[in-house]
């Protein structure tokens, strides 16, 4: 009982204790390890989450895990950011499992990994675990699992939509209508068909390949891909995709480039000022993979100069993106070419049901000692279990 009283008191006194934590001074309390404590960092869904229970990725609906975990006697802590309390849960209350989503990520830095002495498992409810220092997880034998495949169709559909809205100059056309104007030539001067264009994907994994599949009926001139892992011959043949092994040569052949690889040491800043010079003048770029794969300022400059005709995506180098982030308002010389939205392509209600279920089965496997589905394991105990997060 004493222990629970200490914990209760700790909760009430989070700010004081968290300050202790930062200054590194010993707290007056010895914090006990709670049995199988699970910490989830989700996002505040507000009114929408109260009205729509299928918004499972929110604090309010907590991936549908709260009652289930509670019924089994586990401690479940839900926070909306890596705040003082969640740091406390990781460092002093010794949470064993951390659940995060990529949409409103809880960033798990090496510093935090080093302090989270009891952490054994990180679950990404979704796909893409770059918000976790994966090399630190390897070093500290913390496993990192994703719900692989859970939202890949959702993203692939968004990519195709984004390609179309850029190529067809949709956003300025819609804005014109809302303004009450009607000047067809202002829109048509920069609107094209996707048919006959060359489209290439950087990364031809689950999402990249699904994008290629969905583009087949558009009769593009050619579909290309750049990936250190070649597609199986039958898969490449099925979509008639040609692999280009040199990135500069690849981008120089594309009218549209779509980015579909994970963010890791080898892809951070991959699309930078130097690479953008090799793009076809006036190409369109769609990135729903991770914001930091594209250099923020280089992209804004390329759009402003017309080197790019358009940039669209839902991922940002920092999330939530600051109000003055240049990608919110950047435009091409004709005042269009911006298809940016908040990070939601992989979090449709359909996708949320899939990644909530997937997160639960990963957790269930962990808590009951069952083996995990190998395709979900990004970092196993002490090593990477996937080849997708860089060539090592």
Please name the residue that has the structure tokens 């090496």: 110
Is 319 marked active-site?
Answer: yes
- What six digits make up the tokens of 94? 């010794």
Q: Least Å distance between CB 92 and ligand NAD?
A: 32
- Residues linked to residue 242 through DSSP beta bridges, in sequence order: 224
Sequence-distant (≥ 6) Cβ neighbours of residue 252 within 8 angstroms = 278, 279, 280
- The single residue among 104, 206, 296, 360 that binds ligand NAD, judged by CB under 6 A, is 206
Judged by beta carbon, residue 164 or residue 388, the one nearer ligand NAD is: 388
Q: Taking CB under 6 A as the rule, does residue 152 contact ligand NAD?
A: yes
Is 242 marked active-site?
Answer: no
Q: Taking CB under 6 A as the rule, does residue 378 contact ligand NAD?
A: no
Pick the stretch among 87-95, 137-145, 248-256, 285-293 that binds ligand NAD (CB under 6 A): 285-293
- Residues linked to residue 294 through DSSP beta bridges, in sequence order: 271
Q: Taking CB under 6 A as the rule, does residue 160 contact ligand NAD?
A: no
Q: Taking CB under 6 A as the rule, does residue 204 contact ligand NAD?
A: yes
Q: Taking CB under 6 A as the rule, does residue 4 contact ligand NAD?
A: no
Sign of CA dihedral 387, 273, 156, 237: negative
Q: Taking CB under 6 A as the rule, does residue 155 contact ligand NAD?
A: yes
Judged by beta carbon, residue 172 or residue 358, the one nearer ligand NAD is: 358
Q: Which string of x and - marks every residue 63-102 that binds ligand NAD (by CB under 6 A)? A: ----------------------------------------
Q: Taking CB under 6 A as the rule, does residue 131 contact ligand NAD?
A: no
Q: Least Å distance between CB 207 and ligand NAD?
A: 3
Pick the stretch among 169-177, 212-220, 276-284, 341-349 that binds ligand NAD (CB under 6 A): 341-349
Pick the stretch among 71-79, 162-170, 183-191, 262-270 that binds ligand NAD (CB under 6 A): 262-270
CB 376 within 8 A of CB 362: yes
Is 214 marked active-site?
Answer: no
For 88: left if phi > 0, alpha if psi spans -120 to 50, otherwise beta; the answer is alpha
Q: Taking CB under 6 A as the rule, does residue 345 contact ligand NAD?
A: yes
Cis peptide before 320 (omega within 30 of 0): yes
Is 357 marked active-site?
Answer: no
Pick the stretch among 7-15, 53-61, 110-118, 288-296 that binds ligand NAD (CB under 6 A): 288-296
Pick the stretch among 39-47, 109-117, 172-180, 223-231 that binds ligand NAD (CB under 6 A): 223-231
Judged by beta carbon, residue 14 or residue 161, the one nearer ligand NAD is: 161
- The residue ranges that bind ligand NAD (CB under 6 A) are 126-128, 151-152, 155, 202-208, 226-229, 260-263, 266-267, 288-290, 314-315, 343, 345-346, 388
**Which residues are annotated as catalytic?**
151, 290, 319, 343
């Amino acid at each position: 009982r004493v222990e629970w009283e200490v914990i209760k008191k700790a909760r009430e006194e989070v700010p004081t204790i968290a300050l202790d934590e930062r200054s590194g001074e010993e707290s007056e309390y010895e914090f006990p390890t709670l049995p199988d404590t699970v910490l989830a960092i989700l996002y505040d869904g507000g009114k929408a989450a109260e009205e729509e229970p299928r918004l499972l990725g929110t604090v309010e609906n907590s991936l549908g895990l709260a009652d289930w975990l509670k019924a089994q006697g586990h401690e479940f802590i839900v926070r909306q950011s890596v705040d003082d309390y969640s740091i406390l849960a990781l460092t002093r209350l010794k949470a064993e499992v951390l659940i995060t989503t990529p949409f409103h990520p809880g960033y798990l830095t090496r510093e935090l990994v080093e302090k989270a002495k009891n952490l054994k498992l990180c679950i990404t409810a979704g796909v893409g675990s770059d918000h976790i220092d994966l090399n630190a997880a390897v070093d500290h034998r913390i496993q990192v699992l994703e719900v692989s495949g859970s939202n890949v169709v959702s993203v692939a559909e968004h990519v195709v939509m984004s390609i179309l809205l850029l190529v067809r100059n949709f956003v300025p056309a819609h804005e014109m209508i809302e303004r009450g104007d009607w000047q067809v030539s202002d829109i048509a001067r920069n609107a094209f068909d996707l048919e006959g264009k060359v489209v290439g994907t950087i990364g031809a994994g689950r999402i990249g390949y699904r994008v290629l599949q969905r583009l087949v009926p558009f009769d593009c001139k050619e579909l290309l891909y750049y990936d250190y892992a070649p597609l199986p011959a039958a898969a490449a043949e099925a979509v008639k995709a040609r692999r280009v092994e040199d990135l500069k040569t690849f981008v120089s052949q594309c009218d549209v480039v779509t980015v579909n690889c994970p963010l890791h040491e080898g892809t951070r800043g991959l699309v930078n000022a130097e690479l953008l010079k090799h793009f076809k003048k006036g190409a369109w770029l769609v990135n729903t993979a991770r914001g930091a794969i594209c250099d923020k300022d280089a992209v804004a400059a390329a759009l402003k100069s017309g080197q790019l005709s358009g940039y669209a995506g839902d991922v940002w180098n920092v999330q939530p993106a600051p109000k003055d982030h240049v990608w919110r308002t950047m435009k091409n010389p004709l005042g269009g070419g911006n298809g940016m939205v908040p990070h939601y392509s992989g979090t449709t209600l359909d996708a949320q049901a899939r990644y909530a279920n997937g997160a639960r089965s990963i957790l269930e496997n962990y808590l009951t000692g069952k083996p995990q589905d190998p395709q979900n394991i990004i970092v196993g105990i002490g090593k990477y279990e996937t080849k997708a997060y860089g060539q090592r």
